[in-house]
Structure formats: C-alpha cells, structure tokens
Structure 1
Amino acid sequence: MTSLSTQVQAAPVGHPAYSQTFPCEPETAEAGRKLVRDALTVWHLDDFADRSELIMSELIANAARHTPCSSIRLVIGRPSARQVRIGVVDRAPSLLPVLSLPDADDESGRGLFLIDAIADRWGYDLHGSGRRVWGKEVWAEILVEDEP
C-alpha cells in the first residue's frame, strides 16, 4: 500500500482541496483517514475529524468492495466556508451507489446507510462527458458552520 509521504499543504488559489491516488483496497482506509485529519487540521476544523474519517473509511470500503478498479483517488475539499466534501473517485461509472436498508442479520451493506445518517448530504458525480464518461466520484458533505 502507498503511504502519505508529503505533508498536506494549502491550495494557493480557489477552493482548498487535497487529493491523492491509492490502491483500491480496504487497507487504504488508514491513509484516507490521515488525509482527512491532516486537511481538517490545516483548516482548523479538528472537531469534525471523527465524522469525516468515518465517511472516508466507508467510501473507500464501498469502492474496494463494489468496483473492479485497481486505484482510487481520495479527495477532501471545501466547496464553501460552510462545507467539507469528502470523496472517492473510481473508474467504474456504471456501478452507481444505491442506498438500501440492510436486514438486521446482514453482516455488511451498511456503508451508505451510515454515511446517509452522519453526513448532511451525499451523492455522486460522473466524470467525463457524453459517451466518454470515464469515472465517478461518490461524495459526502458535512456542514462546519452555522448560517449567518
């Protein structure tokens, strides 16, 4: 597994965001949690780290379990001062996430259900255009400030 070898640094322009590519395997969750925690520390949003780390872990687990991809791109950004967006980009645009309630005795299948419960909003975006869609990003957002 690849590890974080560089410190998280603030983006010089636009909305701040951090991303890094890793193998599409469950063990990547550890690096994903570190990326999230490092970014939130830079943004002075440590209070949101536990929830954000859990979201990243679940998104990675879903990609590793439900896509044939060999690598994924982990993304954490601030689309606005009020939001943090956590996402995982893969190259399996035809395998879209579906929220379903697992049976009580199911041993898995709760990832999106958990994300739906702790995120303020979640969804996916396709990457590419027309017949050249090459991937998707499954993301979740949390609000980090109250509205003025």
Structure 2
Amino acid sequence: MTVTPEILTDEERRLAVEHWLLAAAEDRTWARNEWERDGIALLRCGGVFGTVHISADIIHGAAGSDDPAAVNGHLAKAVLGGPVVVDQETSPYYVLVGRSTGSRVEWERPRDARESSMGQILVAKDGMPVVTTLLPREVSSVPAARRLVRSTLTDWQLPALGYLAELVVAELVSNTVRHARDSVVRVTLRRIANGGVRVAVTDKSHAVPVLRPLNDDALDGRGLAIVDAVSRRWGTDLLPWGKRVWAELGQEADIPSATKVPMFAVHKAQALYVLIVVALAVLLAAFISTEQP
C-alpha cells in the first residue's frame, strides 16, 4: 500500500497548491511564466477546480476589517491556506475549490446572485450597480459589447446614453482586438452619480492608448478622438497585469461640438467626419421619435 506523505511545512503546502493550480493550465510552462512575469495566469475552471464567489461585504464582515492584511490573515485560516482571488475592479472574492464543490446539495437552491441577459450583475463599493462580462478578443465581440451596453442601459432606465455608450464601447473593444494580447477582454459598465455611466474595457496589454494629432489623409486612427469627443472624461488605469481604459458619459448627452471635435482639412477626412456626425444625428433623431407618444 502506498502512503501519501503528509504536507508539513508552508513550503510544501505552497508547492502542493501550485501544482494543483497548474494542472488546470493548457500549458504549464506558459502559465508559470505568465504568473512570474505579470502576476496573473489564465486557468480553466471546471476541470480540477471550480470557484465560489463571495461578496466583499461578507468577507470584510467575517474578517472584522477591510484592511488587506487583516483580510489575508482571516482567509488564510478560513480556507486553510487555499487560493483566493480578488477582483480589483468590482471587489468580489473568488475562492478556488475542488470540482465537486459545485455539485453539493447546498447549491441546488436558487442563487441570490443575479445574471443579466448578457453579463454578471454586481454592486460596487459605493452601492452603484455594475455589469461585467468576459468576451473573446475577436471582431465579433464588438457587436456583442454593443448589445451588452444597450441591454444594460435599458435595464438602468438610461436609454438616452445608449447610442453614445455603444459608440464608446465599440471603439474601446476594437482597439483591444487590434492591439492587446491574450484571448479575452473584460467589458464593464458601472452606473455613476448624476445619472451617468462609466464604460471600461480591460485587457492584459500594458500599451497605453494615446490621443495623437491626426493625419488629415488617414481614414482610421480616429477612435480615441471620438471617445474624447463624446465623453465627460476618459483615461487609462494601469494594472499589475494589464490596463483598464474607461470613459464616463453624462446624462446631459455630450453631443460632439465644434469646440471639442477636431476639424480636418483634407476632403477625405472631412467626409469621414461628416459621416460620423450625421450618424450620431440620425441615432439621436431615431431615439427622440421613439420617445414621442
């Protein structure tokens, strides 16, 4: 009979957890290098492990503090040193557990967590609703992201922001498809004060988008100019493993104005600019007509 030696030291426990996690990777060497280089590695759930989602309020309440050191200490004892991941954007905690955990009878009753038609519904620290989803880094994700925006803003009763928010998310996801790395992108919508919405696209690239002077003859490269024109403000948050590009839209519907949108001198560029403005005007007129009795 083979006797499995008992794990006695912290180093042995760390190695055991590491090998267990790596068993879920398609390429163990690649996953280990990602972790060492970027501080994050993409692993598949449903194979050797699954995840249990716990809200930050519950974790902080159990730990008696929201201090990271106190929370880490509590979790280390509560889950016996097992791996826990925290989402830095929306703050839920994900405890990695064995694959069979999800089939326990305790989980057969309806869950409290809700799902929208296309994304997971969360609550930010300030109590504002958040909808987030992962999409493949493919061109087909651009219309999928627009549908997510349209559905979410309808649920939040903010349809007036829909056409601008769709335009922004389309540009941000398109940039990610063209320039980022890894196979997925996260799209997040967060309601903000004064009836506004924050659109964010997160990826694993550290390349920061820059709003540059435009070449008059160029027929592309105007995505950030559009985002800058229609948003209250926009920016990039650098993360240890990538970046988050976001834009905030206001209830006042920041329609592009001559003072905010750059003008172009060459005929081809002027034509493109006119087409963009006409498209926005058509969308606005269509929305107003649907609102009239």
TM-score clears 0.5: yes
- Tell which deviates more after alignment, 56-65 or 103-112: 103-112
Instruction: Return the structure number with greater strand share.
Output: 1
How far the C-alpha of 1:10 sits from its partner, in A, is 5.3
Q: Which residue of 2 aligns with 1:65?
A: 178
How far the C-alpha of 1:15 sits from its partner, in A, is 1.4
Pick from 43, 52, 65 the counterpart of residue 165 of structure 2.
Answer: 52
Q: Which residue of 1 aligns with 2:117?
A: 7
How far the C-alpha of 1:6 sits from its partner, in A, is 5.3
Residue identity (%): 38
Q: Write the distance in 2 (CA, Å) between the matches of 1:78 and 1:72.
A: 20
Q: Write the distance in 2 (CA, Å) between the matches of 1:69 and 1:104.
A: 33
Kept in 1, the 8 Å contact 2:123–2:130? The answer is no
Change in Cα spacing, 1:42 to 1:6, as seen in structure 2 (3 Å) is closer
The secondary structure found in structure 2 opposite 1:138 is strand
Structure 1 regions of 5+ residues with no counterpart?
Answer: 128-132
Pick from 247, 250, 254 the counterpart of residue 140 of structure 1.
Answer: 247
Q: Write the distance in 2 (CA, Å) between the matches of 1:27 and 1:114.
A: 21
Q: Does 1:101 align with 2:213?
A: yes
Q: Write the distance in 1 (CA, Å) between the matches of 2:152 and 2:228.
A: 22
The secondary structure found in structure 2 opposite 1:89 is strand
Aligned length, in residue pairs: 136
Change in Cα spacing, 1:11 to 1:122, as seen in structure 2 (3 Å) is same
Q: Write the distance in 2 (CA, Å) between the matches of 1:120 and 1:6.
A: 26
Q: Which residue of 2 aligns with 1:130?
A: none
Matches within 5 A, 1:74-113: 74-93=187-206, 95-113=207-225
How far the C-alpha of 1:42 sits from its partner, in A, is 0.9
How far the C-alpha of 1:12 sits from its partner, in A, is 5.8
Q: Write the distance in 2 (CA, Å) between the matches of 1:135 and 1:48.
A: 28
Instruction: Return the structure number with greater helix share.
Output: 2
Kept in 1, the 8 Å contact 2:181–2:203? The answer is no
The secondary structure found in structure 2 opposite 1:102 is coil
Amino acid of the residue matched to residue 121 of structure 1? Answer: R
How far the C-alpha of 1:23 sits from its partner, in A, is 0.9
The secondary structure found in structure 2 opposite 1:7 is coil
The secondary structure found in structure 2 opposite 1:47 is helix
Q: Write the distance in 1 (CA, Å) between the matches of 2:132 and 2:194.
A: 19
Q: Write the distance in 2 (CA, Å) between the matches of 1:99 and 1:106.
A: 14
Q: Does 1:32 align with 2:145?
A: yes
Change in Cα spacing, 1:10 to 1:134, as seen in structure 2 (3 Å) is closer
Amino acid of the residue matched to residue 215 of structure 2? Answer: D
The secondary structure found in structure 1 opposite 2:216 is coil
Q: Write the distance in 1 (CA, Å) between the matches of 2:156 and 2:226.
A: 25
Kept in 1, the 8 Å contact 2:161–2:250? The answer is no
TM (normalized to structure 1)?
Answer: 0.83
Q: Which residue of 2 aligns with 1:115?
A: 227
Change in Cα spacing, 1:46 to 1:106, as seen in structure 2 (3 Å) is same
Higher relative contact order (CA 8 A, sep 6+): 1
Q: Write the distance in 1 (CA, Å) between the matches of 2:116 and 2:153.
A: 16
Pick from 228, 238, 243 the counterpart of residue 126 of structure 1.
Answer: 238
